[in-house]
Chains A and B, each alone.
Chain A
């Protein structure tokens, strides 16, 4: 899809919710891993992460975020006509988690509700989908819930978070510019290979195999080709950002903030260098919150800068699993950004 403009959509508010429970990447690991972890922390910029307690799902965080946002906006629950979830952490393989939350949030049964399976790139895609429903006025108010539950003790990158964003129909709203892309030829670079129809989960996935050096290796249920993702990100993200800037006719120097997906310090530094912009334009939440998947852009917007009731020209650029990447540029004006919820 070419770069395009959506009108009549107001960004009304954004809130983030994270678990209270923290993991320290250097301290919460076996002693023989510590040297390696120091190197990973230095390279990625990730020192602390958040993890859901046993039994808490992404949708539990998302529900709390949505309730609080709807309340703070003074919206009535029956005014919310669309509820979209962008996540890879559903409650069940089926049905869609958004439909379950329609009920739990007490929204009308007339609500449009469904899930979108996107990860790190998800925020601009989620905004676009909801904005597309709102732009005609058919849907007056909608909420998009973005995030994932992907933290674990053994992987030092991922962290749990949920975010809720509210959009509403407003003929006086400034235009939003989007650039959205997909490249499935890279789908094996970030993949959970087993557990669905192509490779159903079976007994052999649970048995560790003995390696030639005598060590045992568990089946890798998550594959991330770091160098390939680096190459992809540092080429695709700057191009996408340039496209929305060009479409808006504005000067990139005049943009207040560029919120990049928070995957890795090195990747984002390279993107900033390629755009020849100061790193201060690129707020980061990597140190405290790690890679929170699709939630990383909105979580950074709510925790690293103060946008509450302010006016700011911002760009949000996500990239990752798919491979999928895209950007959204908009003017945030007098939207609410309530404090981070920690549960």
Chain B
């Protein structure tokens, strides 16, 4: 799968994990700080997504340090 495909699959998984309303656009450069939905509940869903969909154990510090959707994507690889 190409990087673009992997990224769009990741974004779809992330949308589902944080239960993002359809009207909100999510891209690689989307800033997490400016995303009102990015709260502790969303972080919890994201941690579960890494575990279950990617088999990755991502630390809470890595999640806190991520600035953009792209940073979250890097953690899945």
Contacts and interface: CB of A to CB of B under 8 A. Distances in A.
Nearest to A229: B44
Contact of A270 (B37, B40, B52): B52
Given A227-B63, A228-B60, A231-B60, A43 B41 contact: yes
Contact of A226 (B37, B41, B51, B59): B41
Given A39-B41, A42-B19, A43-B19, A230 B48 contact: yes
A273 interface: yes
Contacts of A230: 44, 47-48
Interface in B37-65: 37, 40-41, 43-45, 47-48, 51-52, 59-60, 63
A269 B59 CA distance: 19
Given A43-B19, A227-B63, A228-B60, A234 B51 contact: yes
Contacts of A274: 51
A227 B40 contact: yes
A227 B59 CA distance: 9
Given A234-B51, A270-B51, A273-B52, A227 B19 contact: no
A260 B52 CA distance: 19
A43 B51 CA distance: 16
A231 B47 contact: yes
B47 A227 contact: yes
B48 A40 contact: no
Contacts of B37: 39
Interface string A223-250: 0011110110010000000000000000
A43 B37 CA distance: 13
Nearest to A235: B57
A266 B47 CA distance: 10
Contact of A266 (B45, B59, B60, B63): B45
**Residue from B37, B43, B45, B48 having most chain A Cβ neighbours under 10 A:** B48
A168 to B, nearest CB: 41
A129 to B, nearest CB: 32
Given A39-B19, A42-B19, A43-B19, A227 B43 contact: yes
A226 B44 contact: yes
Interface residues of A, number: 17
Contacts of B44: 43, 226-227, 230, 264, 266
A226 B60 CA distance: 10
B13 to A, nearest CB: 15
**Residue from A226, A227, A231, A270 having most chain B Cβ neighbours under 10 A:** A227
A39 B24 CA distance: 15
Contacts of B48: 230, 234, 266, 269-270
A39 B39 CA distance: 11
**Residue from B44, B51, B52, B60 having most chain A Cβ neighbours under 10 A:** B44
B8 to A, nearest CB: 24
Nearest to B46: A227
A269 B52 CA distance: 10
Nearest to B63: A227
A147 to B, nearest CB: 25
B21 to A, nearest CB: 9
29 contacts: A39-B19, A39-B37, A39-B41, A40-B41, A43-B19, A43-B44, A225-B40, A225-B60, A226-B40, A226-B41, A226-B44, A227-B44, A227-B47, A227-B60, A230-B47, A230-B48, A231-B47, A231-B59, A231-B60, A234-B48, A234-B51, A264-B44, A266-B44, A266-B45, A266-B48, A269-B48, A270-B48, A270-B51, A270-B52
Interface of B: 19, 37, 40-41, 43-45, 47-48, 51-52, 59-60, 63
